[in-house]
Amino acid sequence: MKPLSRILLALSLTALAAAAGAAVPVPQPKPAVSLPQAPTPPPPDIDAKSWVLMDYATGQILAAKDPDLRVEPASITKVMTDYAVSAEVAAGKVRMDDPVFISENAWKSGGAGTDGSTSFLKVNSKVPLKDLLYGMIIQSGNDAAIALAEHVGGSEATFAELMNAYAKRLGMAGTHYVNASGYPAADHYTTAHDVALLSRALIHDFPEDYAISAIKEFEWNGIKQHNRNTLLWRDPSVDGIKTGHTKGAGFCLAASAKQGDARMIAIVMGAPSEKARADDAQALLNYGFRFYETHVLYQAGKPVATPTLWKGETAQLPVGVAENVLVTIPRGRYGDLKASMDLPATLIAPYKKGQPIGSLRVSLDGKPVAQRPLVALADAPEGGFFKRLSDAVLLWFQGGKGSAPEQQPDTR
């Protein structure tokens, strides 16, 4: 056998499905009469500074315009304020029933005397933290955002640094915060891509708090205000997330909708009007649901292959992925996916469960759509003395290289 340091197992997706024991859904047989592949049209024409359409399940960007352009976030800032407060609650540092003091600063900077959105909080009063979250998310209350920041961080400036720490953790490389409300300020900026990352994290990490953004109205201090996200009334599949507007930022909207098992996130930054931001976000969501689909290709813990193991207690080592592998692709293209594995030509015990072995790649039209590490799915200790000796002799006769795993993929 020709010695190889590593061997690339180029397999069709169907072949890998067999190797994984039906870990991958097998494409349906092609019809007897082959029809031309339906094209995927370009995304809608969006009149905004920047925008992003993201698939929630995979985090893939399906379409975008200037996704990393630095823009003013306006009240989209409050999505991070919500995330940071929710994270601090989850960590036990503050509680939902905490009485939060409404300082003169919160009242003066974000209250009824300003020209921004407000929850009409009374100065020197105390309001439960949960009610402030409702006021900030539904009413977009600047006073609520500032009061929350002061309670959680001790001051709004300190809380802004906490926001930046969470942004860094989430990979929001193009974002920097200096306040909790989104009031225009120097060095306060974000990107459409970062807002999409943040929105996905909020939905995933704090689903109960995210659900607040689907509530259409909230009353505080005898004043009932409606959620500014007009898509909540237009489309029943829309359940969030947040609007924003200032003269410099234009009209912004982070929107998300769920249809069946699929969820899309649309971010529109700098639209020319309130109607335009809603129409644009709706168009992006519709485009995502209509022309894309998500598949679970490989399940965590299920063997993708069982290559030969040398000098071990067992003759084979099951390898697979530690987390489900999902891809979002244009509808009707599932059968065109190609998968390959990169594994060592010779696997010699011992291995520990979870130890990286190689890599799995999935591509469409030659472009990568997923890449994940392949790991050992079980402990593989060394075999006894005679097993190690006999395998050493066999390996010596083969020039130190074992049988290529591609000879016998695991089809059990």
Q: What is the DSSP letter of 28?
A: P
Q: How many CA atoms lie within 13 A of 228 on its CB side?
A: 22
Residue 28, sorted as left (phi over 0), alpha (psi -120 to 50) or beta, turns out to be beta
* Residue 75 annotated among the catalytic residues of the structure: yes
User: CB under 8 Å to 10, separation ≥6 — which residues?
Assistant: 338, 340
Give the separation between CA 211 and CA 209, rounded to whole angstroms. Answer: 5
Strands (E), 238-288: 238-246, 250-259, 262-271
| Active-site residue (options: 49, 65, 78, 311) | 78
- 3-class state of residue 412 by DSSP: coil
Handedness of CA 88, 94, 95, 101 (dihedral sign): negative
Cis peptide before 215 (omega within 30 of 0): no
Catalytic-labelled residue, pool 109, 140, 213, 256:
140
Three-state DSSP string of 190-250: ECHHHHHHHHHHHHHHCHHHHHHHHCCEEEECCEEEECCCCHHHHCCCEEEEEEEEECCCE
Annotated catalytic residue within 75, 117, 181, 213: 75
Cα–Cα distances in angstroms (integers) from residue 404 to residues 17, 83, 172, 364, 388, in the given order: 19, 49, 42, 26, 19
Check if 242 is active-site: no
Give the separation between CA 315 and CA 309, rounded to whole angstroms: 5
State the first-to-last Cα distance of the chain, in angstroms, to the nearest integer.
26
Catalytic status, residue 140: yes
Active site residues: 75, 78, 140
